[in-house]
Amino acid sequence: MTSEEIVEKLKAGLAGAIQDSDFPQGDAVIFVAPKSLHLVAEFLKNDPDLKFDYLSDVRGVDYLLEEREPRFESVYQLYSIDHQHSIRVRVGIDEDNPSVPTVSDLWKGALYPEQELFDMFGIHVEGHPTMERLIMPKDWEGYPLRKDYPLTTETVAFSHNRDFKSELIKSKPPTR
Amino acid sequence: MSVTEQGLLQRDKDTMTLNMGPQHPSTHGVFRIILEMDGEVVKTAEPEIGYLHTGIEKTSENKRYVHVIPMTDRLDYLNPPGNNLAFCLSTEKLLGVEIPTRANVLRVIMCELSRIASHLVWLGTHALDIGAMTVFLYCWREREMVLDLNEEISGVRMMTSYIRIGGVAKDATRPWLDGIRNFIDYFPEKVDEYERLLTKNPIWLDRTQGVGALSREEAINWSLSGPALRASGVNWDIRKSQPYSGYENYDFEVPVQNNGDIFDRYRVRVEEMRQSRAIIKQALENLPGGDFKAPDNKVSLPPRETLHTSMEALIHHFKLVSEGISVPVGETYVPIEGARGEVGFYIVSDGTNVPARVKLRAPSFMAIPGMCKMMEGCYIADVVGIIGSIDIVMGEVDR
């Protein structure tokens, strides 16, 4: 199916759940609210014409600098192995009490990237079996990939380098 | 028949917790698994990662697009051109640049050479883990030839950064092309040699056949990719299903096996080395002339010699070096078939010369939960074989 056909089919099947759709460079992209994510995911996986049985990745994005509402987004990339088509599902997540339902009951492959979503962005994934730190140490404070988390350096005892630290401790990159 | 089905796992108590890693040689990096053992049988395997975390994704959000490319080399350090290509393809898709045919062919040659080199490292270390010493030395001998070719074209043996936004860094040189021709003539015989050592070797068969098997449905559901997915009977290769860089013009087969065990993953990768060699051979035969980078001055640097005569070129050169490429607002993702599976960069651009978000889809990272699923119910000696058969690289797991 082409990108347009996939989105049309989705809109026919789930009229209220799809907020918006887009076709950047020909890819199919749909926008979904967190509360209807699980419903949409089930439809995507179980519908025989769509049959998105392969979850490629889940990523978080922080739109703080663009001042966009809602601030966070989790993006799901799905493929159908049989039909050889793909779709991207974008879910906007509010800044206060950020949370999103899990899809790891449908695709087991989502377990790790969803845990990373919590680790790096502090987005709570409801229904996920292990909501704890994955890559960062267990006692780490803060969420490193949020835009308000500063890029810092570790203090070293001795260095030949010039003092980069004062330049680096800024939340905005120097080239902007 | 698995150990669980044979009724060997009767007792619930009397288990032992065993720590493996992070400094274990067979984990190919710093990877820790906590195994719950019932005698010699693994009941559960709990992975722990993050020892190699360097914050490359965070750093990328503070660097210009061009400066991200050398960092992508360090993610999957056995297949650097694949990572370069994935990053460049995503950026080029946002920019809307047309890549010249010659650049595409050079990219394909580089990626397939690196796939061969990566599979050679995998075969050597995997065989060494299981106890076959000789294969390791043979594989290193051939990998050395690929590294020499890398050095000839890019000046660096491993972290090549040869593929750039808009094309490649440098045009093909005659010694490089001659070296590749020698290599592809010499290589098939050597693959047969590895197969003679392993494929019918009874020790190898005992250690690999029926071990760590995953069915077709499980492999898809656990998001395995690349050779591990194809060994479970899924005919899924991104070079065929979503062709990029002109892969649709090459005639090659996608090896698929059906049992999904360690032996089938071995068969798939060995056959892939032969197919990669076939792709390189076709690419060399049909290497077209023309530009090796897009003739778009907003994207790639103008030729060095024009700087002396053209004011326009000088301005573009200065702007590109001092400011970098400004990418239009948008988000995109282009998957490619790397050596260990689907690699792709999800890039969000806010219209400046610095990416707003860079996320790597790392095949090793996605394969870890599935790998621990394979370990349940197998013997402890097979844990090492299963880790090797997935071919994990911790650089891209921890990023």
> Min CA distance, A134 vs chain B (Å)?
7
pLDDT band at A166 (very low <50, low <70, confident <90, very high): low
pLDDT tens column, B246-299? 898 898 999 998 888 899 999 999 999 999 999 999 999 988 888 888 888 888
Q: How far apart are CA B180 and CA B182, in angstroms?
A: 5
Geometric angle at alpha carbon A7, from A61 and A127, rounded to 5°: 50
Short-list B39, B7, B42, B6, CA closest to B384 = B42
Q: How far apart are CA B169 and CA B81, in angstroms?
A: 12
Average confidence (pLDDT) over B363-385: 89
pLDDT band at B336 (very low <50, low <70, confident <90, very high): very high
pLDDT at A154: 64
pLDDT at A1: 78
Q: How far apart are CA B360 and CA B110, in angstroms?
A: 20
Q: How far apart are CA B122 and CA B136, in angstroms?
A: 9
pLDDT band at A174 (very low <50, low <70, confident <90, very high): very low
Average confidence (pLDDT) over B40-45: 88
Q: Does A112 touch chain B (CB under 8 A)?
A: yes
* Phi and psi at residue A62, to the nearest 5°: -110, 115
Average confidence (pLDDT) over B227-244: 89
Q: Do A81 and B220 touch (CB under 8 A)?
A: yes
Chain B residue with CA closest to A28: the answer is B332
pLDDT at B306: 87
For the ranges A97-111, B291-305, B361-375, the lowest mean pLDDT is seen at: B291-305
| CB B226 within 8 Å of CB B396 | no
Residue A146 identity (one-letter amino acid): R
- Give me the count of residues in chain B: 399
Going by their DSSP bridges, the two strands B16-20 and A124-126 should be labelled as unpaired
The answer for A67, left when phi > 0, alpha when psi is -120 to 50, beta otherwise, is left
pLDDT at B373: 87
Percent of chain B predicted with pLDDT > 70: 97
pLDDT at B272: 92
pLDDT band at A8 (very low <50, low <70, confident <90, very high): confident
Query: Residue A15, Cα to own-chain centre: how many angstroms?
Result: 23
CB contacts, 8 Å: B50 with chain A: 133-137
Q: Do A136 and B333 touch (CB under 8 A)?
A: no
Q: Is pLDDT of B11 > 60? A: no
Task: Indicate the domain borders of chain B.
Answer: 58-346
pLDDT at B343: 92
Question: Which pTM value belongs to this model?
Answer: 0.88
pLDDT tens column, A135-165? 888 888 888 888 888 776 666 666 665 555 5
Q: Which CATH superfamily is domain B58-346 in?
A: Cytochrome-c3 Hydrogenase, chain B (1.10.645.10)
pLDDT tens column, B87-117? 999 999 999 888 999 999 999 999 999 999 9
| CB A49 within 8 Å of CB A26 | no
Short-list B86, B287, B256, B88, CA closest to B180 = B287
pLDDT at A164: 55
pLDDT tens column, B152-189? 998 888 888 899 998 898 888 899 999 999 999 999 99
Helix (H, G, I), strand (E, B) or coil at B219: helix
Q: How far apart are CA A64 and CA A66, in angstroms?
A: 5
User: Measured between CB atoms, which of B62, B220, B330 is closest to A53?
Assistant: B220
Q: Does B220 touch chain A (CB under 8 A)?
A: yes
Geometric angle at alpha carbon B365, from A135 and A152, rounded to 5°: 35
What are the structural domains, with CATH classification, of chain A?
Answer: 3-134 (3.30.460.80)
Average confidence (pLDDT) over A16-42: 86
Q: Do A175 and B241 touch (CB under 8 A)?
A: no
Q: Does B63 touch chain A (CB under 8 A)?
A: yes
Q: Is pLDDT of A176 > 50? A: no
DSSP class of residue A78 equals E
Helix (H, G, I), strand (E, B) or coil at A79: strand
